[in-house]
Amino acid sequence: MAVGVPETDVFAAADAVLARGERPTVERVRTELGRGSPARVGQLLEQWWEQLAQRLKGHALLPELPGEVAQAFAEAWRLALMHAATSAEAALTEQQNTLFAERTSLTQERKLCEIALAAAHADLAEGASKVAQAELQLVERQGLVDQLTTQVADMRQQRDQLQRQFERQQAELDALRTERAATQAHIRSVEDRAHQQMDQARQEVKAQGQQQERTRREHAKRVAELAAQRDALQASVRTTEQTIAHQAGRLAALGAVVAGQRAAARRGQAVKVEKPISRTPSTGRSTRREPTPSKPVKAPRGPGARERR
């Protein structure tokens, strides 16, 4: 149990309040002390008032004074005692009221504490049940913790393996980056050469295109000339073919005439052979008429003949 404020401190605080010309009350003494419960301070303040009356009685024994002075002093002392008694009664009443209020408050607090205690007992029983369940869960959780600990150990091993693998891959990546940088430099140089070659090739293609265009134009011109010559030759061939056909018809006709003449000549020669040989009277020689050879028929000359020649 906690010890309250000492009575000497309460008495000293009450004397200090009285020295300032104020009536010592519970609140003023507590303010002066800066601590203390109202019940403790009120109880000690009652003792202070009782001791104050005894202290004042002790100071009332004065030496012999003149009558009027002693009477005036006694009257002042009586009034002071009356005032002190009135103040003490008022303070006592205030303290009683304060104590009653505190008692009422404590009663209410006690009832609240009893209710809270009952609730606490219920909570305690429920808590005990929950503790039992929690212990069971703790056992289960402990098993899970052990399992998780094993898994954590396995995962740490996997992490170490992955870390080593990552370091190897990082080294390979650095090597690949270096190789890529070299490859990019080589690619840039190749691209530069390729651009130069492409520019040169474009110029050559352009020159070749110009040359091909000139060649195409010359070829087209030559083709046009050859086409014109072909058309002329085709026209000449058609004319020649017509002339040849015409001459062939004439030759066929002349051949028929010559064949008829030859047949007639052969028939005439056969008749002459059968006649007797006549002798001339002057010479006595026999005369034989030789058949007149037929003259060959010359074919007329024409364009076709010139072409055959």
Mean pLDDT by 10 residues, the chain (309 residues): 74 87 87 87 87 65 58 68 72 78 84 85 84 86 89 91 91 92 88 88 87 89 89 89 88 89 84 52 48 49 46
Q: Which two tokens stand for residue 267?
A: 């028939």
pLDDT of res. 162 = 92
Q: Pick from 3, 2, 43: which is nearest to 14 by CA?
A: 43
Pair 50, 122: CB distance under 8 Å: no
Handedness of CA 153, 156, 160, 161 (dihedral sign): positive
> Residue 36, Cβ neighbours under 10 Å: how many?
21
- What type of residue sits at position 115? I
Spell out where the chain has E strands: 278-279, 286-287
Q: Pick from 40, 47, 83, 76: which is nearest to 59 by CA?
A: 76
Task: Tally the C-alpha atoms within 13 A of residue 308's C-alpha that lie toward its C-beta.
Answer: 11
- What type of residue sits at position 245? A
3-class SS of residue 286: strand
Q: What does the DSSP assignment read for 43-86?
A: HHHHHHHHHHHHHHHHHH------HHHHHHHHHHHHHHHHHHHH
Pair 44, 11: CB distance under 8 Å: yes
pLDDT of res. 169 = 92
pLDDT of res. 181 = 92
pLDDT of res. 124 = 85
Check: pTM over 0.75? Answer yes or no: no
End-to-end CA distance of the chain: 164
pLDDT of res. 271 = 64
Instruction: Kindly provide the b/e burial profile for residues 48-68, where b requires at least 16 CB atoms within 10 angstroms of the residue's own CB.
Output: bbeebeeeeeeeeeeeeeeee
3-class SS of residue 111: helix
Separation of alpha carbons 51 and 298, rounded Å: 197
pLDDT of res. 277 = 46
38-60 and 26-33 are packed helices; what angle lies between their axes, rounded to 10 degrees?
Answer: 100
Dihedral pair phi/psi, residue 74, rounded to 5°: -65, -40
3-class SS of residue 307: helix
Q: Pick from 237, 238, 294, 241: which is nearest to 265 by CA?
A: 294
Separation of alpha carbons 271 and 288, rounded Å: 12
